[in-house]
Amino acid sequence: MKKVSVHALRAMKGAEKIAMLTAYDAQTASFLEAAGIPVILVGDSVGTTQLGYSNTIPVTLDDMIHHTAAVVRGVTSSFVIADLPFMTYQLSVEQALASSGRLLQETGCDAVKLEGGAFRAPTVRALVDNGIPVCAHIGLTPQSVKAIGLRVQGRGAEAADRLFADALALEEAGAFAIVLEGIPAPLAARITAALKIPTIGIGAGPDCDGQVLVVSDLLGLGGAYNPKFAKRYAEIGAAITAAAAAYKSDVLSGAFPDADHSYLE
């Protein structure tokens, strides 16, 4: 498969739905690419899915560099986007440039993603002007969990109009795509219809130009946690537990290793 580019993603709007998934390691990324997933997001969700944090706030730039570099090593054609973690771009445009530069230089990823609405447009413009592709993210923004919680955003006319204006401002600033998270489906449809760049939905209904899911939600690796917008396509977590239990039983009984799994000479 040919390497996916920013231009290819933009051309998919209105022509082909975009399927995006998260990954945090080379092996998982290679499986996703083999399935034909064109875009892999190395989300700061690594904090909650891999590092044991209760939210994304503790994730560092070094964490993101470590996991993004692993994902990049696992693919050849998929487009890899890396999240800018909390407080690595909010202080100034200069900080955002430095953090984004490290992500691109030290990992080989294709783009960065940052959270925030129209107030973030100057940062997006500065990054794009310096050759750094940017995916924006509005609606439910997990890095703002302390301020807004994990609840649907954009309910009511005033809030909806504000998010609509955010999307237009981010497009004007040069973002090549916008993630719409946790917003009413009619609002996501309205934004998608108004923009020339793709929208990627997560908990934003069926009318976005693409969809993204956290891979642990897709595979049933999140235990009892199962957000409304996430569809489970497998129960790998249960399979891992069953396999580990069977292994333990064989070890305790002496059934493993047997002759077939031993060197006899």
Task: Write out pLDDT tens, residues 78-92.
Answer: 999 999 999 999 999
**Same domain, yes or no: 111 and 174:** yes
**Same domain, yes or no: 17 and 120:** yes
Q: What is the CATH number of the domain that holds 173?
A: 3.20.20.60
Beta strands in the chain (DSSP E): 18-22, 39-42, 79-83, 111-115, 134-139, 177-181, 199-202, 210-213
- In this prediction, what percent of the chain has a pLDDT beyond 70? 100
**Same domain, yes or no: 123 and 214:** yes
Split into its structural domains, the chain has a count of 2
Q: By residue range, what is the domain housing residue 229?
A: 6-234
CA distance 218 to 236: 9
Average pLDDT per 10 consecutive residues for the chain, totaling 265 residues: 94 98 98 98 97 96 98 98 98 98 98 98 98 98 90 96 98 98 98 98 98 97 82 96 98 97 93
**Same domain, yes or no: 164 and 254:** no
- Residue 1 forms part of a structural domain: no
**Same domain, yes or no: 83 and 111:** yes
> Is residue 31 a contact partner of residue 228, using CB atoms and an 8 Å limit?
no
Look up the pTM and report it. Answer: 0.96
**Same domain, yes or no: 178 and 59:** yes
Cβ neighbours of 185 (radius 10 Å)? 15
- Residue 77 forms part of a structural domain: yes
> Is residue 249 a contact partner of residue 264, using CB atoms and an 8 Å limit?
no
**Same domain, yes or no: 246 and 225:** no
> Is residue 214 a contact partner of residue 45, using CB atoms and an 8 Å limit?
yes
> Is residue 115 a contact partner of residue 59, using CB atoms and an 8 Å limit?
no
**Same domain, yes or no: 75 and 56:** yes
The catalytic residues are 181
**Same domain, yes or no: 221 and 162:** yes
